[in-house]
Structure 1
Amino acid sequence: MADIPLPPGFTEAKVTQAQRAFESVLGAKKVFFTDLDRTSYEDKFAVDDAAHHPVGAIAPESVEEVQAALRVANQYRLPIWPISRGKNLGYGGTAPLLAGSVVMDLSRMKKIEFDEANGTVIVEPGVSFYDLYDYIQANNLPFWISTPGNSWGSVMGNALDRGLGYTPYGEHTKRICGMEVVLPSGELVRTGMGAAQGAPSWQLYPFGFGPGWDQMFVQSNFGVVTKMGLWLMPEPESLMGMDVEFDRPEDLKAMIDTIGPLRREGVLQQSPSIGNWLRAAAVLTTRDQWTDEPGALSDAVIDKIRKQFGIGWWGVSLRLYGREEVNKAAYKILEKAMNDINPMAIKPTSWVKGEPLEYTGWTGTPMTFPMQNVNWYGGRGGHIGFSPVLPQDGTAALEQFKRTYARYQEYGMDYQGSFAFGERHLLNVNAMIFDKDSPEMMAKVDPFFRTLVADAKQHGYCEYRTHLDYMDLVSDTYDFNGGSLRRLNETVKDALDPNGILAPGKSGIWPKGSKGRVA
């Protein structure tokens, strides 16, 4: 254990004592402290392979075992890092922020409770998008789920990190309704209407009485969520839409200024995402098939790739869900709006209930193929994301793209970017794909990321989520009144977790007296 970072103030003997205490309350088969165990819980996409190593892991299988494990952690003042399934690749995966923490792996908690009458579900942390999809199919339930690009992940974990999908229910955190949470002390609480014993409306009305706590447990370290209610989309009567390609980088402005009003008006109820050519090409081919030139790809190579696959510089998939007659009317509006801004190509699509269904993210089908993009450079592929929040303004978005694209070229990286629509905002998701077997490339990633953060901050743009390495950096960009939001978060943290044992440093929230702030 000499080469393994220990928690602050710990000796190997004290870690061994805590390990034995976990074994006494969970059983030895749910406690993992070997070298292989520790390696298994490292970040597979880490920029710095020496960072964020856990000292061990535990895998409780029930709420009662979560409570018991947190009591042990409090007894020994041992930091715990909960994960749902550990598939949040590009943001830290299974690894803890604070080296020496014990990972609390909740992937064995996989219960599903479905309310067909109201279209709601209660899931535990270990339920993946594949699990929920299979449950709905097996029980012939008339509902669609919304899936992200990596459906290996946890339904709960994705919503807790504000992950996105492709359907009208794609802003997953907005579909949360009612949680069961174990506080750092081990006390069990239920939020919203769940605070009333026996209330039948726990998954129907998210607010309850008094403060609404569901969002307080999103991206925070205030508790361990063991159950989460979610709303699901009723299976639509029809689906209509189009895949649209645009030829020039500058077309981004017209795309955003056209799609944004349709989204705000409600003609489009999904959350479409405009992606550049590499988002499509990186799952179809690899870089070495086109060039061995160093640095960012030239326009000539980009043109060859685009021509081969018949894709635009930007592409967007727009979908309409619901009653067929309503969709037909909305489609005409959508078609005219797209034609008015001179697309390179429009490919229409339609489906009516009873017809064979396409198995894509647009129909709530789980998938993992987008993860193929990490093989773009070869070697041990990985990525992290830089994702600032922007207004739905085409000029602002184009300027942000040009700044970011110039930085990709400066650092010799190939640009993969997208602009995902909320109801009023844009998420500018930029993927930094890398080859972990290239020391030269890996040396660029950290300064590249920090430069992008600084560039965006100059215009008031900050990230909506980030990798473990950068939680403090991003937290610092939320700097109104000298960082009063962080002070508020840390005041709540200290009240709920006086021993500072639960996920120290998560989202830049550190317990009082911590030595762990990472600049």
Structure 2
Amino acid sequence: MTTKGERLTSAAIAPDSTEQVQAVMRIANQYRIPIYPISTGKNLGYGGSAPAYSGSVVLDLKRMNRILNVDERNHTVLVEPGVTFWEIAQYFEDNNLDLTLDIPDPAWGSLVGHALDRGVGHTYSDYGRDRFGSACGMEVVLANGDIIRTATGALETSTMWQDHEYGIGPSVDGIFSQSNYGVVTKMGVWLMDEPPAYRAGRITVPRHEDIVELIDTLKPLWRQRVLTNYPNMRRVDFSGPSGWYNRLAFYGDRRVVDRHWELVQDAYAGIPGAELETTLYEAPYNPDEWDLNTKLLAGVPYMEAMYGIGHNVYFLLVVPFRGASIWQVIQTFDEIAQKYGRRFFGTPVHVHSPRGLLTTVSIRVDKDDPETNRTDARDGARDGHRRGSAWMGRIPRRTGIHRCRHSGLQL
């Protein structure tokens, strides 16, 4: 028995190679069968592994989990879609490589799937928080079973497939992100070297409205690269309106790291009641002694972060990098929430680019109360999504698969 709106698969296939993916795509193309590729992870909140259309064949790429090449000198890796963040970090450790990777939390997701869904990480990166920005060169199986290779991979004699992101002529990589134009079977990803020193910091402000000044003080520090991680701000107490804390990190030579922390202290000294704390770590590191936040900011993978979060539907908004923009989001969505007997005091705010912030708008649901889910939670989500789409031109950056109606690799 199924519930209304539930999407069901007609079959599931788990290929082990690009050639097997080609064979599946040729048959599906011949008989006009919809294909829904997935890799690994769960993609909680954005649709999961359920296909966009009932009757689709799920193409499960978890068995394609090979790390094909790691270039320690040029800091690149070539992987298949079944390789997780956890596995690549373990590979670095097992082979004593001084490499690191900007990771999400938790680490069960696919490097390839995360990039194609334009996911974000938390640690330092030259490519911004957009994972897709660190991708370099893809192998893609098209709907008719043909293969294309992007970047310099189209040239048979090229030795720079993972080193140079542009080939000859137009760059087509972007059409395979958040789309169903092909199945990505290989991807190159740029890595980073392990820093000699790492300082984890935290800034806490006492009042709910301090989020405005917290963000406005952060912006010039981040754009000037005083801060080298991708900060996120969270409420101190999720039970109601409260102060906020900002997780910061600094990487590199210890002298530079220490100087940057001094600049941050000077900048935040003007916020009444602000509290600053920090800890310095130097290589060789011992992550076994670190808490989850310290691991996260250092690019050390773990699985614990998502446990116990309950059940939610949510979408991610892109807003200008201004404290007033986030404050307006909080006020607007609290107004919507109150229509359904709820409150909204703000959810985590993430720096995404020098000009943009991401913030999650979530609605708690009760898996044991389907009637409430169909009314309050569903209608509230639609109302919020509509306001998020149209309100002052801001757009939802990522939403559930059931709204996007696209396939493509999921986390």
TM superposition score normalised by structure 2: 0.91
Q: Secondary structure of the residue that 2:395 maps to in structure 1? A: coil
| Contact kept in structure 2, 1:87 and 1:154, CA below 8 Å | no
Q: Secondary structure of the residue that 2:250 maps to in structure 1? A: strand
Higher mean Cα deviation, 90-99 or 408-417? 408-417
CA RMSD in angstroms comes to 2.0
Match of 2:245 among 306, 315, 334: 315
| Contact kept in structure 2, 1:146 and 1:361, CA below 8 Å | no
Match of 1:331 among 261, 269, 277: 261
Quick check: 1:91 aligned with 2:46? yes
Quick check: 1:193 aligned with 2:152? yes
| Contact kept in structure 2, 1:388 and 1:428, CA below 8 Å | yes
- Equivalent residue, structure 2, for 1:363: 298
- Equivalent residue, structure 2, for 1:218: 177
- Equivalent residue, structure 1, for 2:397: 464
Instruction: Tell me how far apart the structure 2 counterparts of residues 182 and 362 of structure 1 sit (CA, whole Å).
Output: 35
- Equivalent residue, structure 1, for 2:141: 182
Paired residues in the alignment total 395
- Offset of residue 210 of structure 1: 1.5
Q: Secondary structure of the residue that 2:15 maps to in structure 1? A: coil
Specify the code of the residue in structure 2 equivalent to 1:432. I
Instruction: Tell me how far apart the structure 1 counterparts of residues 199 and 383 of structure 2 sit (CA, whole Å).
Output: 41
Specify the code of the residue in structure 2 equivalent to 1:438. D
Instruction: Tell me how far apart the structure 1 counterparts of residues 164 and 285 of structure 2 sit (CA, whole Å).
Output: 35
1:414–1:53: structure 2 CA closer, same or farther, 3 Å change rule?
farther
- Equivalent residue, structure 2, for 1:132: 88
Q: Secondary structure of the residue that 1:318 maps to in structure 2? A: strand
Please show how residues 300-311 of structure 1 align to structure 2 within 5 Å: 302=240
- Equivalent residue, structure 2, for 1:65: 20
Instruction: Tell me how far apart the structure 1 counterparts of residues 244 and 227 of structure 2 sit (CA, whole Å).
Output: 19
Quick check: 1:437 aligned with 2:368? yes
Choose between structure 1 and 2: higher helix proportion. Answer: 1
Match of 2:165 among 206, 222, 245: 206
What stretches of structure 2 of length at least 5 have no aligned partner?
A: none
Instruction: Tell me how far apart the structure 2 counterparts of residues 103 and 88 of structure 1 sit (CA, whole Å).
Output: 15
Specify the code of the residue in structure 2 equivalent to 1:154. S
Please show how residues 276-287 of structure 1 align to structure 2 within 5 Å: 276-277=235-236
- Equivalent residue, structure 2, for 1:122: 78
- Offset of residue 138 of structure 1: 0.5
Match of 2:379 among 434, 437, 447: 447
Match of 1:354 among 261, 284, 303: 284
| Contact kept in structure 1, 2:108 and 2:303, CA below 8 Å | yes
1:81-123 Cα offsets, whole Å, 9 max, x none, are: 0011151111111111011101100011011121111110011
TM superposition score normalised by structure 1: 0.72
- Equivalent residue, structure 2, for 1:274: 233
1:247–1:428: structure 2 CA closer, same or farther, 3 Å change rule?
same
Instruction: Tell me how far apart the structure 2 counterparts of residues 225 and 191 of structure 1 sit (CA, whole Å).
Output: 11
Specify the code of the residue in structure 1 equivalent to 2:255. E
- Offset of residue 276 of structure 1: 2.2
- Equivalent residue, structure 1, for 2:328: 399
What stretches of structure 1 of length at least 5 have no aligned partner?
A: 5-47, 282-300, 304-311, 376-381, 473-504, 508-519
Specify the code of the residue in structure 2 equivalent to 1:84. S
Q: Secondary structure of the residue that 2:309 maps to in structure 1? A: helix
Specify the code of the residue in structure 2 equivalent to 1:448. G
Instruction: Tell me how far apart the structure 1 counterparts of residues 74 and 93 of structure 2 sit (CA, whole Å).
Output: 17
- Offset of residue 439 of structure 1: 2.5
Specify the code of the residue in structure 1 equivalent to 2:171. G
Instruction: Tell me how far apart the structure 1 counterparts of residues 53 and 46 of structure 2 sit (CA, whole Å).
Output: 14
| Contact kept in structure 2, 1:86 and 1:94, CA below 8 Å | no
Specify the code of the residue in structure 2 equivalent to 1:100. G
- Equivalent residue, structure 2, for 1:234: 193
The percentage of aligned residue pairs carrying the same residue is: 36
- Offset of residue 149 of structure 1: 1.7
Match of 1:161 among 105, 113, 117: 117
- Offset of residue 61 of structure 1: 0.7
1:412–1:440: structure 2 CA closer, same or farther, 3 Å change rule?
farther
Specify the code of the residue in structure 2 equivalent to 1:249. H
Higher mean Cα deviation, 219-228 or 439-448? 439-448
